[in-house]
Amino acid sequence: MATKSIAVVLGTRPEIIKLAPVIRELGERAWVIHTGQHYDAKMSGQFFEQFGIGAPDVILEGIGGANRGTQISAALQALTDLFLKNRPSAVIVQGDTNAVSAGAQAANYLGIPLIHVEAGLRSYDRAMPEELNRLVVGALADVHCAATDLNARNLLGEGVDPARVIVTGNTVVEATLASLEQGDGMIGRHFPSGIAPEKFVLATIHRPENTDSPDALERVLRGLTAIELPVVLLTHPRTRLAAERFGLTDFFDELHAIESVGHSELLDLAQAATLLVSDSGGLQEETTVLGKPLLVVRRSTERPEAVDAGFARLITPDKNIAREAAEVLENNGFGTDLRTAQSPYGDGTASRTIATIAAHIDNGHAPAQAIALVEASHDLAA
């Protein structure tokens, strides 16, 4: 087994969370490269430590805080240089960030097999930067690890070779379960009195469609302040800066606004909350493990599985957030017992499956052969 032979490229905290189980499964084969898109020692560093995967092997410089085009081009150049000096047997990327686009291009242009984790998500909204990143990596990947059957159908509908697509489930399941085990449940420390309300709403807002214009941000903040229960708002730096820029910080005084927290603390708060309100992609998946109702504040979602399974409802700009929240609270959810509902994102074995595919490629098998070997082993186990 080669050491540091499989490059894992990531650039944001959600990628760390979802790729940590894969990195653990890869063991000594994993060569972890952080593009620096969202790197800071306090937040990203604590996630690496929390998930027991150590610090990244490489952290690129000069990328965090730059505009999208600069981030992708700078990361692409830096990754290309790295791969030319130390060619990996495969490159793994996850999701739809700028780091994914750069990592996918660097691998493909050098002829290195590319494995895309969480492949096949589609919002069909090209105004979303993430959708463009998904389309780029969808065109370049050699192995498409789709989280659900719907994701796989999206890829097949775009003409992707079926031999290169495998439904693995989503690594968010095992990541969420691992974080819940590490949580201490002491959520009172997030409240001035030291005691959490019996019922409260947890909100997270950070996407450009909700923060990059004063009208959009005011609509969301005004809607949150009108909810009848106390609202805990985790303030993403983008959201706080936008509120300051647009003169909307007074809304924070009507909410219980706190700084972003670690993954275990987030899940502890979410598990204790009565209702979740968010534009986060990750929370749309995590709520299916937590069994909590979620209002998704977005124009569209690339994760309709959570909606279809009864865990989430899409709140488009034409809908009243407070009114929708009141309805959910009055009905104790969406009419389904979410505590016993099954997550559409698998059984917690996705990371092992993905790492096994990568290991087969590292051992000399072609991408389609690696998938076939894994599927054959699954058939034998069944």
Q: Is 127 exposed, middle or buried (0-12, 13-18, 19+ CB in 10 A)?
A: exposed
Q: Which two tokens stand for residue 230?
A: 């106390």
Q: Which two tokens stand for residue 166?
A: 């495998």
Residue 38 annotated among the catalytic residues of the structure: no
Residue (of 73, 105, 81) closest to 91 by Cα position: 105
CA distance linking residue 127 with residue 326, whole number of Å: 30
CB 84 within 8 A of CB 109: no
CA distance linking residue 253 with residue 151, whole number of Å: 41
CA distance linking residue 124 with residue 155, whole number of Å: 13
CB 76 within 8 A of CB 105: yes
Catalytic residue among 206, 236, 256, 263: 206
CA distance linking residue 226 with residue 63, whole number of Å: 39
Q: Are strands 143-146 and 114-119 parallel, antiparallel or unpaired?
A: parallel
- Phi-psi category of 159—alpha, beta or left, where left has phi over 0 and alpha has psi -120 to 50? left
Helix (H) or strand (E) holding 75: helix 68-85
Query: What positions carry a catalytic annotation?
Result: 206
